[in-house]
A = this chain, B = another copy of it.
Amino acid sequence: LRGAYNLIANLPEELRRKGVITYSSGNHAQGVAYSARALGVKAIIVMPGDAPRVKIEATRALGAEIVLVGPAGSERQAKAEELSARHGYAIVPPFDHEAIIAGAGTTGLEIMEDLPQVELVLVPVGGGGLLSGVAAAIKQSKPNIKVVGVEPELANDAQRSFRGRELATFPAEATARTIADGLRTQSVGSLNFGHLLAFVDDIITVSEDEILQAIREIALRGRLVAEPSGAVTTAAFLFHREDLPRARQTVAVVSGGNIEPVLLEKCLVGS
């Protein structure tokens, strides 16, 4: 929401009048749909047909027009660019844009305000919008706070890019294996990659089973409903403490609560 709202709110009036378009596996789509409606702008969302039904319906319920395509990120982007060229819609990219990163960064500002003694912040990483923004906000204010990205082992392109210091791109079939549908991006954005190298301390990974266990813990002990993409940071805290910098106070950013009811049920039965 924060990134999309920031971008749309700052569009010139003549662009806003034509409408906005985006390509997204779901949460960014809802952020764009919500922000566009709040700002009185028409929104078109290109989504993969295999996105959770709950995300597609929630986006439609926010008043956006939905266009469904195949699972590859590239396919979504191509479709959005085609429609943008034809109708003059302004593209709201999901992560690779300064306004998106700046909007997401307000999460970092809020964490420092709410918990000034925080020593470590864990952020999910898919395309890297949220992680870029949070890390930039925190490191430029309080460089001693550690910021670590977390992604699924089955879609660890960001870790590969970060550790190899070269942008890695995975095939869609590879990243599609993780249950964390919001983190199936095939690579981080290039602007995001620059932010990661400049501001992030590390990127670690969690297993699929750890993600499901974290959803259960977040529900029963944290009393929050998280989707798999949102639960990766708690999974890292619960199961990979030895991979993380030592900290007395840690914040896990839980971003994404759009989970299919049957999956939430499965997690509750779980372990």
Contact = CB atoms under 8 A, between A and B. Distances in A.
Contacts of A265: 265, 268-269
Contacts of A257: 223
Contacts of A116: none
- The contact size tier of chain A is 10 to 19
Interface in A254-270: 257, 261-262, 264-265, 268-269
A31 to B, nearest CB: 15
Copies in the complex: 2
A266 to B, nearest CB: 9
Interface in A13-37: none
Nearest to A58: B221
A39 interface: no
Contacts of A223: 224-226, 257
A219 interface: yes
Contact of A225 (B54, B219, B261, B269): B219
B261 A220 contact: yes
Contact of A268 (B220, B224, B261): B261
Contacts of A264: 219, 268
A223 B227 CA distance: 10
Interface string A71-102: 00000000000000000000000000000000
Nearest to A264: B268
